[in-house]
Structure formats: structure tokens, C-alpha cells
Amino acid sequence: MRCLIVEDVEFEREMMGIFLSDYADSDSADNGEVAVEMFSRALAEGRPYQLVCLDIQMPKMNGQEALKRMRQAEADRGVSTHKAVIIMTTAMNAREDMEEAIWRGDCTDYLVKPIILADLVALMRRYTLIS
């Protein structure tokens, strides 16, 4: 499985990479702008990411905007099934943030920091990324 970790805090980015090391080949980006470029390039090369762990609060481009652009990149390429599983990973736990990410932003799911490995693994199983 290919995974893109999008997190502006280096320590948290590295921890996610360690969490996912047994399950995925991971790339990382420190802001939404770079993440959208990487995501789009992977689609164009025919090597799409199956999982994206996406922080909301980031410099240059926040996670909500990055999410919209990633979904648009999929739509532009005609990807209607087997879309990437995009899990918002954030410290923001207000109901409004969750609703925007899930209902208006088309993310797959939402995890509140600190991320617990068992919760992340459960989501990967739920969305059949791992067995």
C-alpha cells in the first residue's frame, strides 16, 4: 500500500511514518500545497496513494483545501471508484471541523490527535487497506 502523510510538525510526521511502516510505503509532505502536487503526480504516473493521512491546520494550504484539490484531481483523472482513503488527522475536535471534513470535504474518516496506532489500524481494516 502507498501512503502519503501530510503533517507540518516534523515529530508527528515521523511518528505516523513509524506507525505505518509495517503496513505501507510512506511518503510525506509538510504542507497541503506540496501534498496536492505529490498526490496529483502519483495519479498521473499511475501509482496512486491508497491512504492519505491529512492534517487540517498547516501553512501554505490547509487540509480542507488540500482535500478538495485531491478529490478534484481524482475526478479530473476519471477516478470514481477506488478513490484514496483520506483520513483527517488533527487536534481539532470541534463538531464543526469534523462535519466540514467528512460531509462537505469528502474525506473518508477522521482521527483526533494524539493518534493511537490501534485506531489507525482499525480504520485501515475498515476500509480494507489491510486484512
59-63, 77-81, 103-107: which has the minimum mean pLDDT?
A: 103-107
CA distance 112 to 101: 12
As a whole number, mean pLDDT of residues 111-125 equals 94
As a whole number, mean pLDDT of residues 60-83 equals 91
What single letter denotes the amino acid at residue 63?
G
- How distant is the alpha carbon of residue 38 from its chain centre? 12
∠ Cα 106 128 3 (to 5°):
65
pLDDT at 24 over 90: yes
Look at residue 79 and tell me if it is in a domain: yes
Q: How many CA atoms lie within 13 A of 12 on its CB side?
A: 20
Instruction: For 26-65, write each residue's pLDDT tens digit.
Output: 999 999 999 999 999 999 999 999 999 999 889 899 998 9
The pLDDT-based confidence of 127 (bands split at 50, 70, 90) is very high
Structural domains counted in the chain: 1
pLDDT value at position 94?
Answer: 62
pLDDT at 20 over 80: yes
Look at residue 14 and tell me if it is in a domain: yes
- Domain span at residue 120? 2-126
pTM of the model: 0.92
Beta carbons within 8 Å of 46's beta carbon, 6+ residues apart: none
Look at residue 131 and tell me if it is in a domain: no
In this structure, what CATH number is given to the domain that contains residue 62? 3.40.50.2300
pLDDT at 17 over 80: yes
